[in-house]
Amino acid sequence: MNLEPWIILEGEQLRARYDGLKERYKDRDLVPFARREDMDDVACWEKGQGESVIIIHDFASPGYEQKGMYKDFWDWFRAAVEDMVKFE
């Protein structure tokens, strides 16, 4: 299921993004689940952050990568649906 411009990560894409985030942001324990196709934003969960969804601007310098945060998955999902409507 995709919410263009958001793409749900799975399989090799998920593994590659997880490994890349782990390498680029060594001080964070990020688990990605979606990426935005029109920019380098990645929606992640982070160990110790509860149900919050963290938006990481991938490839930014460490310390400048966090672009935003949602209270939980459903807040992120609502925003992703709004992004989809705007994107079309």
The whole-number average pLDDT for the span 29-39 is 97
| CB-count exposure of residue 25 (10 Å: 0-12, 13-18, 19+) | buried
Confidence (pLDDT) at 52: 98
pLDDT tens figures, 42-60: 999 999 999 999 999 999 9
Residue 21 has pLDDT above 70, yes or no: yes
Residue 1 has pLDDT above 90, yes or no: no
When divided into structural domains, the chain yields a total of 1
The whole-number average pLDDT for the span 25-29 is 98
SS3 53: strand
> Cα(41)–Cα(32) distance, rounded to whole angstroms?
10
Confidence (pLDDT) at 2: 75
Which residues form the domain of 19?
Answer: 2-87
Full-model pTM: 0.94
Share of the chain above pLDDT 70, in %: 99
